[in-house]
């Protein structure tokens, strides 16, 4: 059975982080999180940090940043 963790911000359920063998996969439940939907993360804390960043700013400026563990969503780096 897969283990998942609820990601909520200010009482709003925005998605879930599903624990898999290579880290955590984010599954969006709120349309504001679509930019992160399906992304992979090294730790649960990093998932939460990026979800909060997206929720607060309405967008992520990581498309031109080289991917490094823990700094940008896996598979989304430039």
**What confidence tens digit (pLDDT) does each residue in 35-55 have?**
999 999 999 999 999 999 999
Is this prediction's pTM over 0.75? no
Considering only CA atoms, which of 43, 44, 39, 41 is closest in space to residue 28? 39
34 within some domain? yes
What pLDDT is stored for residue 73 in this prediction? 52
For 11, the domain range is 3-57
Tokens of 69: 């563990």
Instruction: Please report whether residue 62 resides in a domain.
Output: no
Q: Does 78 map to a domain? A: no
Residue 69: pLDDT over 70 = no
Q: What percent of the chain has pLDDT over 90?
A: 68
In a domain, 37, yes or no: yes
* Number of domains making up the chain: 1
Question: What gap in Å lies between CA 55 and CA 68, rounded to an integer?
Answer: 22
Indicate whether 67 belongs to any domain: no
């Amino acid at each position: 059975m897969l283990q998942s963790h609820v990601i909520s911000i200010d009482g709003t359920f925005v998605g879930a982080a599903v624990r898999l063998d290579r880290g955590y996969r984010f599954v969006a439940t709120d349309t504001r999180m679509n930019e992160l939907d399906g992304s992979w993360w090294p730790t649960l804390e990093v998932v939460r940090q990026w979800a909060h960043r997206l929720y607060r700013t309405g967008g992520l400026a990581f498309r031109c940043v080289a991917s490094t563990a823990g700094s940008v969503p896996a598979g989304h780096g430039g």
